[in-house]
Amino acid sequence: MSDTPLIRLDDVSKVYHLESGDFIALDHVSLEIKENEFIAIMGPSGSGKSTMMNQLGILDVPTSGKMYIDGRDVSAMTALERTHMRRDIIGYIFQKFYLIPLLTAYENVEYPLILKYKKRDTSGKAADVLKSVGFDSDMSAHRPNQLSGGQQQRVAVARALVNEPKILLCDEPTGNLDRKTGLQIMDLLVGLHSEGKTVILVTHDQKIAEYAHRTIELEDGRIVKS
Ligand SMILES: Nc1ncnc2c1ncn2[C@@H]1O[C@H](COP(=O)(O)OP(=O)(O)O)[C@@H](O)[C@H]1O
Ligand SMILES: [Mg+2]
């Protein structure tokens, strides 16, 4: 682990230009996240949590300010460089799973490998990560609609892991799950954190936030506690 922060936001703002005028979704946010932190992002609805995750995940670019990830100035990258960085160091887990319905669990997890290497996976990596979330080969042949919510989220976690990202961004990962199943997903995230991943989690749920080692609170696009 080095002293250089894994992620650094330097005076980042995100402004949406609407017909009714400019809307400031992130308002001069500065923040450092170190490698292997476990962070919860909390705040009322509309406070900018998803906007913040979209910047951290390089799914969007700030209107102003600078962002560095893994020592590189993301604001100065080309779109292709950003795509590669996203693919190689970030795994995403969403409330709604976003699995591809027509693909089996195995094929969903294999998909990022196909995008990266332009061929079917022969390394066994897709099967390995599925195994690590409790899926055997029979289960891996099921399509999402044949799986429970908790099982679908496990597949989504496996898919997020298959390219061996340093950072896991989780936007309300337990939001669609019952309490017991949600806690099982949290146990998976705790295990991944202890293996060295940096975990950043948006949640409304205080009990879920307690898994994190630091909580960042947003209000009206500003950090009010970190
Ligand atoms: N693409 C967009 N265009 C315009 N306004 C947006 C867009 N995305 C989010 N917003 C606005 O920015 C604010 C923050 O949104 P968001 O980051 O989704 O909040 P949260 O995730 O905390 O609920 C909200 O008021 C929302 O309406
Ligand atoms: Mg949101």
188-217 residue pLDDT tens: 999 999 999 999 999 999 999 999 999 999
Ligand in closest contact with the CA of 54: 1
45 ligand 1 Cβ < 6 A: yes
Per-residue confidence (pLDDT) for residue 63, from 0 to 100? 96
What are the domain boundaries of the chain?
A: 36-62+76-225
The Cα 209–Cα 103 span in angstroms is 32
95 CB near ligand 1 (under 6 Å): no
User: What is the rounded distance in angstroms from the CA atom of residue 130 to the CA atom of residue 20?
Assistant: 47
Q: Which ligand is nearest to the CA of 52?
A: 1
pLDDT in tens, 139-186: 999 999 999 999 999 999 999 999 999 999 999 999 999 999 999 999
Read off the pLDDT of residues 54-112 as tens digits, 9 standing for 90 and up.
Answer: 999 999 999 999 999 999 999 899 999 999 999 999 999 999 999 999 999 999 999 99
Nearest-atom number in ligand 1 for the CA of 45 is: 23
Task: Identify the CATH class of 36-62+76-225.
Answer: alpha beta
Which residue's CA is minimally distant from atom 3 of ligand 1?
16
Q: Does residue 25 carry a pLDDT above 60?
A: yes
Ligand 1 atom with the smallest distance to the CA of 48 is 17
Angle between helices 149-161 and 125-132 in degrees, nearest 10: 130
pLDDT, position 226: 86
> From the CA of 109, how far away is ligand 2's center (Å)?
25
Whether residue 47 is predicted with pLDDT greater than 90 in this model: the reply is yes
